[in-house]
Amino acid sequence: MPDTFSPFAGALLLCVDMQEIFLDEIDDSDAITSRVSFSIECARILGLHVAFTEQVPQKLGPTIPSLKKLAPKAHTFGKSTFSALADDGIRDALKSLNVEHLILCGIETSICIYQTALDAIDNNFQVTILTDATGGRRPEDARPSLESLIRAGAYVLPSEAVFYSILGSASHPAFKTFNAAVKKYD
């Protein structure tokens, strides 16, 4: 893993399983949903692709509408695997989009985020997990999961750290719009 965090070529924000049935089980779901919303807005401002996964959507329901509204043209992948990358269709679609770097947000940190990140690393994607835009039923499971992912080669950072790194400087053409998003979700 490189010593410094670098800007992203071919990055995609993958919002994992932000479905009502799961969010209802998470104590801080409003905070996580807000940070996922922030991440979607920032990704769009910075010209990054956005996609969603849904765990068995025919039984468990779709991504919550407020998030889909922020990225109405984003692709949504249904899955039955815990890792999004264990699904051949999702993995092939990401490769066809020339995705090199997955930025992960959503739920659950210790299950779908963890397994997706490991599989992405195994498939030669760079991986960043947005710590403030992930969560789960058992918050105490997040820390060991994220520490393991760091050892595996993932970047594990809060969303503002990631998006400011992509932005690079206040002279970026999207800085004012980005700054407005930061204030909106502060």
Which domains, and CATH codes, for the chain? 16-184 (3.40.50.850)
Alpha-carbon distance values, 159 to 59, 122, 124, 130 (Å): 31, 23, 22, 5
What three-state secondary structure class fits 185? coil
112 close to 90: Cβ distance less than 8 angstroms: no
- 8 Å CB contact between 5 and 103: no
Q: Specify the pTM.
A: 0.93
Q: What is the per-residue pLDDT for 1?
A: 32
pLDDT tens digits for range 121-155 = 999 999 999 999 999 998 889 899 999 999 999 99
DSSP state letters, 12-43: EEEEE--BHHHHTT-TTHHHHHHHHHHHHHHH
pLDDT in tens, 67-84: 999 999 999 999 999 999
Query: pLDDT (tens digit, 9 = 90+) per residue, 9-64?
Result: 689 999 999 999 999 999 899 999 999 999 999 999 999 999 999 999 999 999 99
How many Cβ atoms sit within 10 Å of the Cβ of residue 4?
Answer: 5
Nearest to 67 by CA among 87, 38, 94, 102: 38
pLDDT band at 6 (very low <50, low <70, confident <90, very high): very low
